[in-house]
Amino acid sequence: MVHVKPHGMLYNQAAVEPALAEAIARAVQAVDPALRLVGLAGSELIRAGEKTRSDHPARGVRRSRLSGRRHAGATRFAGGADRGRRTGAGANPGDGAPPPVRSVDGVWAAVQAETVCLHGDGEHALAYARKLRDSFVQQGIRVSAEQ
């Protein structure tokens, strides 16, 4: 294991609640100081990680929160016809910037992400993971195990 990313609502709460963020950062530090802490860019979790873990600072992976599963479109399945539209496939101008991602409210944004969180509890999880990886490779996004 090389990093820790709180899951779901804990991730969202740690982004805005300093006490929770500090508790998570301290716990990760106590378990293994070499583990990286991953959280919402600019969040309380990142601030706590930077304060608590100076040798292995926290990493921010996106600037917006995830939609809960109860929201329409929050979960995606392997055969989704809108996959290219959502990821901005073909929208990269070739300047080395990451391709844009479309948010649930229709805003396009460049996302500098170092990790991807896939839920493995759905019927199509493996097929979706394969399609996502293929899409990344086609768009020139490097996919590798963290070192």
The pLDDT of residue 34 is above 80: yes
Nearest residue to 38 via CA among 9, 5, 79, 62: 5
Alpha-helical regions (H) of 32-119:
44-52, 83-87
113 torsion bin: left (phi>0), alpha (psi -120 to 50), beta (else): beta
The pLDDT of residue 86 is above 60: no
Task: Compute the distance between CA of residue 122 and CA of residue 129 in angstroms, rounded to an integer.
Answer: 11
Percent of the chain with pLDDT over 70: 65
The pLDDT of residue 90 is above 50: no
Nearest residue to 108 via CA among 81, 90, 132: 90
Task: Compute the distance between CA of residue 73 and CA of residue 83 in angstroms, rounded to an integer.
Answer: 11
Q: Residue 32's pLDDT band (boundaries 50, 70, 90)?
A: very high
The predicted structure's pLDDT at residue 70: 60
The predicted structure's pLDDT at residue 115: 74
The predicted structure's pLDDT at residue 71: 58
Secondary structure in 3-state letters for 78-97: CCCCCHHHHHCCCCCCCCCC
Q: Which two tokens stand for residue 89?
A: 């496939």
Q: Where are the domains of the chain?
A: 3-60, 83-138
Task: Centre a 10 Å sphere on the Cβ of residue 37 and count the other Cβ atoms it contains.
Answer: 26
